[in-house]
Amino acid sequence: MMSYYVTTKEPAISLCPSQEPLYAGVPQWLCLQLCTDNVPVKSGDVMKIKTPQSTCIMKSSTDLYHINPTEYGGVLYLPDIPANSQMDVEIQLMAAMPDSKENVEQLINSQLDFDCPWSEEITCDLNFQLPFTTNHHLHTAGLRKFIQLKIESLSDLEFSLQEPVLSITTVTGDSVKATAMHKNTDMQLMHNTPISYVWTLDSTMENGHLDCKFEVNYKLLQEETNSTMQRCCHAFSLHSHQTEYVIESEVKAQSTSNCKAGTLCNLHFHITQVHDVSTNVKNTLLYEIVSSASLWAVCGKSSGVFTLPAVADASHDINLEVMPLIAGYIPVPSMKLSRYLSEDTPLTDNAIQEAEPQDCKMNNDDTNKPQLEEFGVGQIYNISRTVQVHVMPESNTSTVEVSVPQ
């Protein structure tokens, strides 16, 4: 007796981008391929497409099918598709640009679920890249503070940027004045051509925590694309941003007018305290001389601890000897300051103490041991950061005999 097994194949779908990579924040086209195999598709069959809240499907239609957006994604209304045939459906969607923060990932994952009437739910994963990134930088010029927002392209797409806004609030919710230093004109963002916006902060405001939010409108620049204006946000925070100490350094020759390679020179540092310091905080600082081993040889004490009075304009001077190792224009050695926290050393008013930092390592087990607290960005301003010293080559006193033929 012969037996037969009759099998049928249900329609299958596959999803592939019309172009790669996919970018968030701009409309993207996907190609949905529908293969009917042995089972035809009837006119009026509905395929539900579920997307995350951050991804939306845009309305599109042709003579064969049409797609309507819904709260959960979209609905695809299918036409008659005979068995053993294939039809391509173009789907346009857009993944929203995330609110950029300080450590935002450059890859966004989005999951699409297709609820087909002839089979179980089918899931497809899509990865969207950021077309551009936004970073912030705090710049200091003496006591003045500047916030730079830099937008850099990560793709070959071109965008039009309009209406940049920077809003700053304190912990209490009060707004902080920030004056724009750029022109309020449309800017064009292209690959390898970053755009920067700069604001200056109100110098009279008190030191503290600031919540900042940068917003800018952007639009894709392509003739074949009918894109609308979108909004991009970048949120960040500033902590203790005011300048607390100003450092000035100078290198002078000891005997001659110019420094010479291989000859000792005097290195002078002048540290000035800008504001009054709370009497509850021990104003003891650790200094470390920072220089390149190939440029300078530090002959004096390269680190130490000193204490300043808790008043504005208090200052301290540090002198030591250095030796330039090469000739030319070389940068002056710099200084790194850290707050020196010690439970054993009392604060003496109007006194400057200096000691070797022998126990300046962090120790979480013993609270009586000294600890170091790093200063934030912009709290230390080095006036001589870009100063260079002209070092003359080492004198050559050797005798060279030259014979001239007769």
**Could you report the per-residue pLDDT of 183-215, keeping only the tens digit for each?**
888 999 998 899 999 999 876 666 778 899 999
Q: Do domains 12-129 and 245-392 have the same CATH topology?
A: yes
Which CATH number is 132-238 given?
A: 2.60.40.1480
Q: Prior bond to 164 cis, omega within 30?
A: no
Domain extents in the chain: 12-129, 132-238, 245-392
Of the options 3.30.56.10, 2.60.40.10, 3.30.70.260, 3.40.710.10, the CATH number for the domain spanning 245-392: 2.60.40.10
The answer to whether residues 212 and 238 touch, using CB atoms and an 8 Å cutoff, is yes
The answer to whether residues 111 and 124 touch, using CB atoms and an 8 Å cutoff, is yes
The one-letter amino acid code at 386 reads T
- Complete DSSP assignment for 326-372: S-EEEEPPEEEEEEEE-SSSPPPTT---EE--TT-S--SS-TTS-EE
* pLDDT value, residue 384: 92
User: Can you give the pTM of this predicted structure?
Assistant: 0.77
* pLDDT value, residue 404: 67
- The tens-digit pLDDT sequence of the chain (406 residues) is 677 776 667 778 888 888 888 999 889 999 998 888 778 888 888 999 999 988 999 988 888 889 999 988 999 998 888 888 888 999 999 998 887 765 456 778 888 999 888 777 888 889 999 999 999 999 999 889 999 999 999 999 999 999 999 999 887 777 788 999 998 889 999 988 999 999 998 766 667 788 999 999 999 887 555 567 899 999 999 888 889 999 999 999 988 788 999 999 999 999 999 988 765 566 889 999 999 999 999 987 889 999 998 888 999 999 999 999 999 999 999 999 998 876 654 443 333 344 444 443 434 444 455 688 888 888 999 999 999 999 999 876 555 566 666 6
Lookup: tokens for 256: 């001659």
* pLDDT value, residue 212: 92
Q: How far apart are CA 221 and CA 140, in angstroms?
A: 35
In Å, how far are 29, 74, 112, 199 from 53, measured between CA atoms? Answer: 18, 12, 11, 34
Q: How far apart are CA 221 and CA 160, in angstroms?
A: 6
State pLDDT tens for residues 257-267: 889 999 999 99
Which CATH number is 12-129 given?
A: 2.60.40.1510
At 251 the three-state DSSP class reads strand
Lookup: tokens for 386: 């870009």
